[in-house]
Structure 1
């Protein structure tokens, strides 16, 4: 069975609980939590869901900065984990029917839901959600309901909410990316960047999404040894920070 709760707009926290009955009728329950968010969207999921232990992470970061061997081992570990998860994803066969797709998502690990939503977004349409509603209606209004049917209703309601809110978050993220790209191009191509930034501030168009996209471009320029372009964008970034408020 699965449950879901919201903590902030655009973010979904999913709790998936699996119960296994043994031959002695004892039930073992395992709970997995994951997070879908339009901020910090991580479909690759290499680093896993957000965790506590801020001080421990800072200490680990300092150790990586000082210890080259540990840093290389950590990077290698990330690469291996990424390759392992990529292989697992490629091994999964996506069903062609809505019924099969529903079971596919029900069998998906919590940490993979975010990736699967981004990959299969076109399939998560009205027809698919109508299919879930139809099965829910049949189960809810059945003349006689069994425990298995009640569990199925809870399961379907949970995955329905996860997918609806997950697709909403994904669509919002995509819209934000398009908008951020247009605004960033406007800033970079402007001859009077200060005036452009002030105008965007007045219209509430300058936000962290634009800054994040600029950071990605700076990182890409540095990675490809485009030092002049990176320096230019870093100057733009410094100017943006004077005006950015959200």
Structure 2
């Protein structure tokens, strides 16, 4: 599945006495580290290019980078498997508040069916109680800030996820049409006129190419790589 991009950067702070950290980390868009596995990148285009060139030229650096990525992926996988999803809406709210920022995208995708009208109505009800409370404590103020931030993240995140899923459904239909076409050039031109050549189609092709290589289907991979090159060519015409 294509990666879900939530947005630029949000901080969901929590200052409850149950927390050991005063605030949550930010969700950030990262250039040369799309998984965010190595922490905040060095700033600037030059720094990113230097990092890429180093990986291209230095095999030891590339091996160390790949090893660190694998270790971080394994760590995240183990943590994900260890997490127990709660049964009630109240517990689910706490579950999301306790989720690391970098894991929010994964959890929103996994628990999308639970993020329904009942969930958001319950969340809105609690927000209303906190906003219009006659007397507010510091804990209530902190709780209000937390829930408002979480509501924004979840609403925008689920909207982005739903759009991504809809785009992928259309991309699958378009890719099937393209692959089954006898005259692929004519089909590409037709799709170009209808504005059907987009990033979702490229993403789906990339996933199919990666799977073909994974299962040693060289001919299929080469065929789809040619299709991808043609799609990219027409997209940039």
Gap runs ≥5 in structure 2: none
Gap runs ≥5 in structure 1: 1-9, 23-27
Q: Which secondary structure does the structure 2 equivalent of 1:108 belong to?
A: coil
Q: Confirm or deny that 1:15 pairs with 2:6.
A: no
Q: Confirm or deny that 1:106 pairs with 2:101.
A: no
Please, what is the CA RMSD of the aligned residues? 3.0
TM-score (norm 2): 0.83
How many pairs align? 229
Give the direction of change, closer, same or farther, for the CA distance of 1:21–1:238 in structure 2 (3 Å limit): closer
Q: Aligned-pair distance for 1:31?
A: 6.1
Q: Confirm or deny that 1:33 pairs with 2:26.
A: yes
Q: Aligned-pair distance for 1:84?
A: 1.0
| Structure 1 contact 16–32 (Cα < 8 Å) conserved | yes
Q: Aligned-pair distance for 1:181?
A: 1.1
Indicate which of 131, 153, 161 corresponds to 2:144: 153
Q: Aligned-pair distance for 1:175?
A: 0.9
TM-score (norm 1): 0.81
Q: 2: CA distance between counterparts of 1:166 and 1:21?
A: 24
Give the direction of change, closer, same or farther, for the CA distance of 1:196–1:47 in structure 2 (3 Å limit): farther
Indicate which of 104, 107, 111 corresponds to 1:120: 111
Q: 1: CA distance between counterparts of 2:39 and 2:160?
A: 18
1:26-175 to structure 2, matched below 5 A, reads 30=23, 32-35=25-28, 46=37, 52-175=43-166
